């Protein structure tokens, strides 16, 4: 295929967005921005990125940050395992590499939460190393450019795409080339309605020539999500609202939630369960049904507002949160529908 780097880079230098991590692409900045951008849109990420960098300007600050503060900085972005891994990796970097990310693709891959894409982005953008950074955007662009009908969830297809990226990557500007591909996928060769009419690669795009660009990439259908009933009790007592910390492993690890059961539970069963903690409640209202989508599971939430006069000592993983304690507890967005009822 005709080289894509010259027209792509020409387009990139003329059209790239000004982004804070692009202006100062240190390994730490690129790392945090790439982790935030997994599963989250650029416009949503930018204010989080600015706030995060202000609070935690370097890797030692991230490594030492108390968990509650860290989760607060991430609150609303979701997928908290990302930030938990970010901190674990920062701690390893402080212990083994003197607080600086290693400038080596293979070593980056050994750090928690850093996969081939993130390692490639850091290595190429911050260290200028010739590495691929192939994410969904790049797979889409290359499937279209080569009119490749292979299933992009197939490792062989991804390998083929990675080889094509590297065949086009100019050795003197791997970071710019990778960023140009990401930007091009986000702004021109978009998942729906790619702007083929104004595309700098139009002349060499085999997908556009074959008239099937928008049908690419091909992807095996996702498995259906399982549904799970979740019964929530927003319990208000003399000391505040009852909150419970989730286990340190698994879904929403270590985050706070209202008292709840991950099952369909009757009002009587919920009241009995609370009574075993010494909390006798009366119902003051129903919670409107809500749902929350995780990657593999859909929660269907419902439940009640309850009131109690009791304030017994609680197990270690529970607390009474006052209305003014909003800054101390990170509630996952799964409870967004009830948030104002829990911590106004």
Minimum CB–partner distance for residue 207 and ligand SF4 (Å): 5
Is 255 a residue that touches ligand SF4 (CB under 6 A)?
A: no
Q: Does 213 bind ligand SF4 (CB under 6 A)?
A: yes
How many residues touch ligand SF4 under the rule CB under 6 A: the total is: 15
Distance between CA atoms of residues 262 and 149, nearest Å = 41
Q: Which stretch in 9-17, 152-160, 188-196, 294-302 sits in contact with ligand SF4 by CB under 6 A?
A: 188-196
User: Does 205 participate in binding ligand SF4 (rule CB under 6 A)?
Assistant: yes
State the catalytic residue, choosing from 34, 95, 106, 224.
34
Rounded Cα distance, 18 and 4, in Å: 23
Q: What angle do CA 244, 245, 251 make, to 5 degrees?
A: 120
Cβ neighbours of residue 322 closer than 8 Å, sequence gap 6 or more? 239, 240
Asked if 30 is part of the footprint of ligand SF4 (rule: CB under 6 A), the reply reads no
Out of 108, 138, 189, 230, the residue judged to bind ligand SF4 by CB under 6 A: 189
Site stretch for ligand SF4 (CB under 6 A), options 16-24, 123-131, 137-145, 287-295: 137-145
What string of H, E and C letters represents the secondary structure of the chain?
Answer: CCCCHHHHHHHHHHHCCCCHHHHCCCHHHHHHHHHHHCCCCHHHHHHHHHHHHHHCCCHHHHHHCCHHHHHHHHCCCCCCHHHHHHHHHHHHHHHHHCCCCCCCHHHHHCCCCCCHHHHHHHHHHHCCCCCCCCCHHHHHHHHHHCCCCCECCCHHHHHHHHHHHHHHCCCCCHHHHHHHHHHHHHHCCCCCCCCHHHCCCHHHCHHHHHCCHHHCCECCCCCCCEEEEEEEEEEEECCEEEEEECCCCCCCCCCEEEEEECCCCCHHHHHHHHHCCCCCEEEEEEEEEEEEECCCEEEEEEEEEEEECCCCCCCCCEEEECHHHCCCCCCCHHHHHHHHHHCC
Closest CA to 68 of 235, 254, 199: 254
- Of these, 174, 175, 194, 254, which contacts ligand SF4 (CB under 6 A)? 194
Using CB under 6 A as the binding rule, whether residue 201 contacts ligand SF4 is answered as yes
Least CB distance to ligand SF4 at residue 200 (A):
8
72 lies in the binding site for ligand SF4 (CB under 6 A): no
Residue closer to ligand SF4, measured from CB, 3 or 312: 3
Assess 5 for contact with ligand SF4 (CB under 6 A). no
Residue 202 makes contact with ligand SF4 by CB under 6 A: yes
Q: Interface with ligand SF4 includes 199 (CB under 6 A)? A: yes
Query: Taking contact as CB under 6 A, which single stretch among the options 70-78, 202-210, 245-253, 323-331 is the one that binds ligand SF4?
Result: 202-210
Question: Toward ligand SF4, which CB reaches closer, 187 or 318?
Answer: 187
Smallest gap from residue 183 Cβ to ligand SF4 (A): 13
- For residue 46, the minimal CB distance to ligand SF4 (Å) is 25
Instruction: Give me the least distance between CB of 130 and ligand SF4, in Å please.
Output: 23
How far is the CA of 39 from the CAs of 24, 136, 290, in angstroms? 23, 11, 22
68 tagged catalytic: no
Helix 67-74 vs helix 42-55: crossing angle, to nearest 10? 150
**Least distance in angstroms from the C-beta of 16 to ligand SF4:** 17
If binding is defined by CB under 6 A, does position 196 make contact with ligand SF4?
A: yes
User: Which of 29, 72, 144, 158 is in the footprint of ligand SF4 by CB under 6 A?
Assistant: 144
* Among 145, 181, 235, 281, contact with ligand SF4 (rule: CB under 6 A): 145
Of 203 and 327, nearer to ligand SF4 (C-beta) is: 203
As annotated, the active-site residues are 34
Catalog residues that contact ligand SF4 under the rule CB under 6 A.
141, 144-145, 188-189, 194-196, 199, 201-202, 205, 207-208, 213
């Amino acid at each position: 295929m005709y080289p894509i780097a010259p027209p792509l880079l020409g387009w990139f230098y003329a059209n790239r967005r000004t982004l804070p991590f692009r202006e100062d692409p240190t390994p730490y900045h690129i790392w945090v921005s790439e982790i935030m951008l997994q599963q989250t849109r650029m416009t949503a990420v930018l204010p989080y990125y600015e706030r995060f960098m202000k609070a935690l300007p370097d890797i030692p600050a991230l490594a030492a940050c108390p968990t509650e503060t860290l989760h607060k900085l991430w609150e609303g972005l979701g997928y908290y395992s990302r930030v938990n891994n970010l901190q674990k990796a920062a701690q390893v970097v402080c212990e083994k590499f003197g607080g600086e990310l290693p400038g080596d693709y293979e070593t980056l891959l050994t750090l928690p939460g850093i996969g081939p894409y993130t390692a490639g982005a850091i290595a190429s953008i911050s260290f200028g190393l010739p590495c691929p950074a192939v994410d969904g955007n790049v797979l889409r662009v290359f499937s279209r450019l080569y009119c490749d009908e292979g299933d992009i969830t197939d490792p062989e297809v991804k390998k083929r795409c990675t080889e094509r990226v590297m065949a086009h990557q100019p050795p003197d500007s791997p970071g710019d080339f990778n960023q140009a591909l990401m930007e091009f996928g986000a702004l021109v060769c978009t998942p729906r309605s790619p702007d083929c009419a104004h595309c700098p690669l139009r002349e060499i795009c085999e997908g556009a020539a074959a008239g099937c660009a928008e049908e690419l990439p091909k992807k095996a259908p996702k498995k259906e999500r399982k549904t799970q009933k979740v019964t929530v009790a927003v319990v208000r007592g003399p000391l505040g609202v009852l909150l419970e910390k989730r286990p340190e492993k698994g879904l929403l690890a270590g985050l706070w939630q209202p008292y709840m059961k991950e099952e369909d539970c009757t009002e009587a069963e919920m009241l009995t369960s609370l009574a075993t903690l010494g909390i006798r409640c009366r119902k003051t209202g129903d919670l409107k049904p809500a749902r929350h989508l995780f990657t593999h599971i859909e929660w269907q939430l419902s439940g009640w507002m309850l009131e109690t006069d009791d304030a017994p000592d609680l197990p270690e993983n529970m607390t009474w949160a006052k209305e003014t304690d909003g800054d101390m507890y990170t509630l996952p967005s799964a409870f967004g529908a009830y948030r104002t009822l829990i911590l106004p």
